[in-house]
Chain A
């Protein structure tokens, strides 16, 4: 009886270990709008929550479409009009290696190392590479915004700059990553509704206070040298 119990436990442990080993490292958690994926050698198909993603899978989002993907212990938000490829996803001895190729568009990454391990998380675009080990950032092919932790940002010239929390960088004309600068304080306001341009938002702001409604009472500073002010 004890032998059967021991064998059962061993079998269960083996099944669990096999299941863990086979557990996909990248899984689509949420899909909003039109999101498509293309596994190697397959056609584009609509993405669905819960779908597992393998190495070299392409992900594409349309306008107003977003995908949230768990990549190991990190979270990747693929923003509208983005195409990226999962070039490498690996877990070895408690540490994770994630390499993403951002072909176009913008992603947001919340990088969290696994308990007791490390994450080597890299987003490479045609013009720049961001490498992180525990942080949150937004990146498109040229620009990087970091709101938590530190990111090593490298342009085509291969010279990295360290971009800290609350800072941004971009790729300059000479191919170098521009030294980081503080981001504006838009982080202190919630994002505007999806699809709403900043210029439209400023018109709306002008409806709330008096800043956009003063055209009828604007100071008429007449040329004091010519003629007289009108009534």
Chain B
């Protein structure tokens, strides 16, 4: 009943907007994906269809609706996921200013707070010498499987409740600003404030506030650095607020020459004590081993190259360390071990676009948990080998 009541306004908006848009240019299509994957857990085959509709709203607006129908099958089970994908109206009343309404992509600037599709409204424009953006988002209409929000025990219970469809109800207020003309020694300087308000009520709630600062530092034509810092204040119900911190540093090198390639080194860490850094969405830190950022430090070294217009490749090695408190939860961690070294993973991927309507993505990787001692001694390596073919109809 709740689902029906909350979906009705969305359906009504679609019914009103689509005819309005159809007077102008519009188009629709479907992306079909077929993705077999084999890993230490066995074989799975995922079939996904993403129907979409796009239209212009006059000369300064656009409309986009998309859906997600995902069927994941193994030899033992089949799981169907139905969801609304990016579905938004974007209006540009004047150059440099835009308003967005609906379900839209969001990623905080530090990479430690939240990432994914969110429902709400966002304004982007300028405030004096600042490029600025402000948004207000609600998570309670998202599919819980897509949103991956688990900040409290109540969130965890909802995630495991097969009868529950929606993600925990939380409100996110976001304000971002960046210098339009940073000083010469910086390529970028921006700050972002995020307020997260738990609308669940009751005794198990967690509000949290975040402040992030990101700076880009050029170093000649070939090198660039980017540093991010995030401070978080978690406000659990019935307890004093707790301060958390996270930081990241990335260095990139674009080798001279005609080949489009880049080598990079990244370091990331977030505190884990006192409940851990309260990242709102899951924010996986690896491609095979996928812990969240809380209580974790990671170092990654990678290289990506585009040898031709239709081919791209990337290889990446990541090492994971955990802090004494609040590191990742994993069923195969040795409860008697206090080793900080969790292990390392190596991941390689290939993207091939042989036709304008067809793309093939392939990936393979291995995580070696036993190399550290934090995992149980007989923990096998985790690995995957997968391919996805995407056809745009």
Interface pair A229/B390, CB less than 8 Å apart: no
Once the chains are docked, how many angstroms separate the CA of A137 from the CA of B336? Answer: 58
**What residues on B are CB-neighbors of A211 within 8 Å?**
284, 287, 290
Q: Which of A195, A201, A221, A226 contacts B276 (CB 8 A)?
A: A221
Chain B, residue nearest A156 (CB): B95
Stretch of B5-13, B169-177, B348-356, B369-377 lying at the A interface: B348-356
Binds A, one of B14-22, B133-141, B302-310: B302-310
- Interface secondary structure of B, over-half rule: strand
Cross-interface CB contact of B204 among A104, A194, A227, cutoff 8 Å: A227
A10 to chain B, nearest CB (A): 46
Contact between A209 and B386 (Cβ–Cβ < 8 Å)? yes
Identify which of A173, A185, A200 contacts B94 (C-beta below 8 A): A173
* B209 at the binding interface (Cβ < 8 Å): no
Mostly helix, strand, loop or mixed at chain A's interface? loop
Contact of A63 among B26, B261, B282, B356 (CB under 8 A): B26
Is residue A21 within 8 Å, beta carbon to beta carbon, of the partner chain?
no
Contact B291 A219 (CB under 8 A): yes
> How long is the Cα–Cα vector from A222 to B361 in the complex, in angstroms?
36
Binary interface encoding of chain B residues 145-188 relative to chain A, with 1 for a CB under 8 A from any of its CBs, else 0: 11010111101110110000000000000000000110000011
- If A193-B358, A199-B66 touch, does A215 touch B31 (CB 8 Å cutoff)? no
B247 at the interface (CB under 8 A from A): no
> Is A149 part of the binding interface, using a Cβ–Cβ cutoff of 8 Å?
no
- B262 pairs with A185, CB closer than 8 A: yes
CB contact list, B268-320 vs A, under 8 A: 274-276, 278, 282, 284, 286-292, 294, 304-306, 309-312, 314
C-alpha spacing A205/B314, complex, angstroms: 13
**A229 to B238 CA separation, bound complex (whole angstroms):** 17
On whether the beta carbons of A225 and B284 are closer than 8 Å, the reply is: no
Q: Are A179 and B148 in contact (CB under 8 A)?
A: no
User: In the docked arrangement, what's the CA distance between A225 and B188, Å?
Assistant: 39
Answer whether residue B219 sits at the interface, using C-beta atoms and an 8 A cutoff: no
Check A209/B206 contact, CB under 8 A, given A188-B304, A200-B52, A204-B48. Answer: no
CA distance A221 to B146 in the complex (A): 18
Distance (Å) between the CB of B260 and the closest chain A CB? 6
Whether A171 and B95, one on each chain, are in contact in the complex, defined by CB atoms closer than 8 angstroms, is: yes
A210 B384 Cβ-Cβ under 8 A: yes
A190→B159 contact, CB < 8 A: no
> A213-B72, A214-B284 provided; 17 other pairs, C-beta below 8 A?
A63-B54, A104-B59, A142-B92, A166-B254, A172-B96, A188-B260, A194-B356, A200-B31, A204-B361, A209-B363, A209-B384, A215-B144, A217-B290, A221-B276, A223-B153, A223-B236, A230-B157
Query: What are 5 residue pairs bridging A and B, where the CB atoms are less than 8 Å apart in the complex?
Result: A171-B96, A189-B304, A189-B312, A204-B48, A223-B153
